[in-house]
Amino acid sequence: MTDHPSDKAGGGKSQIWGGRFERGPAAVMEEINTSIDVDRRLWREDIEGSKAHSAMLAAAGIISAADRDAIHGGLDRIAAEIESGGFAFSRALEDIHMNIEARLKELIGEPASRLHTARSRNDQVATDFRLFVRRACDDMAAAIRALQQALVEKAAQHAATVMPGYTHLQTAQPVTFGHHCLAYVEMLERDRTRFLDARKRMNECPLGAAALAGVPYPIDRAMTAKALGFDRPTANSLDSVSARDFALETLAASSICASHLSRFAEEIVLWTSPHFGFAALSDAFSTGSSIMPQKRNPDAAELCRAKVGRIAGGFTALLIVMKGLPLAYSKDMQEDKAATFQALDDLALALAAMAGMVADIRMDEQAMRAAAMRGYSTATDLADYLVRKLGLPFRDAHHATGAIVALAEKKNARLDELSLDDMRGVERRIDKDVFGHLTVDASVAARASYGGTAPANVAAEVRRWKEKLA
């Protein structure tokens, strides 16, 4: 296919809406108006929607069966041309919809001109975009599930591996690394269901709403909705063409998911630093330095951490585009796709990279255990011992434990390195069995309440998640 004459600046009337205008657009107008560089990736959805529309038109007696067959044959040929790289996209034709329609007319002639009966580019693009975002929601849900599966496998390997748990990035209490992994599995499940919820809400078909008011033809919108896999047609023609909340909801879900990935990525950056020394990534997910030969940089994690800025930026950009638009369609809405495409591409890449890193990362169990033993991480276990064994009110037990921790700090010793006499100097009723409660293993094993970090809990949750994600 050759370029159209109007591809050149000042190349005459528009082939799209030239009947109303005597002159073609200025070059700068063409530049700001065209969207083909962005929306060309909707070609599959556009052909799918056009086939459904033409089949409905024929079934309703609005076009002939022969026209329908010619349209479908031409659309199939266009799909083959695009897939093979043999389709010449024209910027003068503005968008993917008119590019396909113009090529269809070259291929089959007059029947192509009947395809746009009872349809506008407004409901056409709304339908194409919903199809694309709906498919993206399915893809994101699948990618999230793959990451969850990687995390569950890692949790299974480390159900009893002790590490320090943090609040304020200060040592708090011992936890298991398996439990830590499963925390992200829970977050990601909420992310996954957010995409599925968004998909369910957007699964209504705008096709047939036309420009904004509906059409005077006896169309069957339920037929096109069913053909395209929608649950039903949209119920209001104005809303049909002006709504982009389905994209906003998907971008909001993407932003939340990206924030979860960013949190985990930050932990990988910390864990792989020599100051923590908890983990290492292989060469597959690390880079070096151009000047410092000893460096192994967790660049994949850092880039996943950064993606949330672009993804949340896409959500904000579209939200601001939509916030002041009167009903129904405005050209501002052409800006919806660039932000959405970029955000979804970024999230898909980040999810794949994170799943790769989770499978790749190797944890140093000894280093994590040693870190868990520092910082008086079993102090709460001592307070709980005083409550259970001696019947102290928790606030009194908390006070006594604080005094014992202060003593340990003065002696530069761990709690389990203090003598029984040291402890009895604070609370005389403490017995020697207290030391059995002050190990990190005893601490995590004791946290057997529902949702707790006990290794038995982790093993049970691993089994549950494996079954759920299978």
Q: Which residues fall within 8 angstroms of residue 118, CB to CB, at 6 or more apart?
A: 53, 57, 62, 208, 210, 215, 217, 219
Q: How many residues does the chain have?
A: 470
Q: Is 158 labeled as catalytic in the residue annotation?
A: no
**Phi–psi pair at 166, nearest 5 degrees:** -120, 145
Task: Please check whether residue 126 is in contact with residue 206, taking contact to mean a CB–CB distance below 8 angstroms.
Answer: yes
HEC string for 23-89: CCCCHHHHHHHCCHHHHHHHHHHHHHHHHHHHHHHHHCCCCCHHHHHHHHHHHHHHHHHHHHCCCCC
Query: Which residues partner with 173 through β-bridges?
Result: 165
- Within 90-225, strands assigned E span 162-167, 170-176, 204-205
Torsion over CA: 158, 163, 169, 172 (sign) = positive
Tokens 């001696």, residue?
Answer: 390
Q: Which residues fall within 8 angstroms of residue 154, CB to CB, at 6 or more apart?
A: 177, 178, 181, 358, 359, 361
Q: Is 237 labeled as catalytic in the residue annotation?
A: no
**Packing angle of the helix pair 336-360, 245-271 (nearest 10 deg):** 30
Exposed/middle/buried for residue 128 (C-beta within 10 Å: 0-12, 13-18, 19+): buried
Catalytic residue among 113, 282, 289, 330: 289
Exposed/middle/buried for residue 183 (C-beta within 10 Å: 0-12, 13-18, 19+): middle
Compute, in degrees rounded to 10, the torsion defined by CA atoms 171, 177, 180, 186.
Answer: -170
Catalytic residue among 168, 275, 290, 449: 168
Please report, as a single letter, which amino acid is at residue 431: D
Q: For the chain, give percent helix, strand, coil, nearest 5.
A: 65, 5, 30
Question: Which ranges of 159-244 would DSSP assign to H, the alpha helix?
Answer: 177-202, 221-227, 237-242
Query: Which residues partner with 287 through β-bridges?
Result: 297
Torsion over CA: 421, 423, 424, 426 (sign) = positive
Query: Beta strand 162-167 with 170-176: parallel, antiparallel or unpaired?
Result: antiparallel
HEC string for 392-421: CCHHHHHHHHHHHHHHHHHHCCCHHHCCHH
Task: Please check whether residue 21 is in contact with residue 14, taking contact to mean a CB–CB distance below 8 angstroms.
Answer: yes
Residues that are catalytic:
168, 289
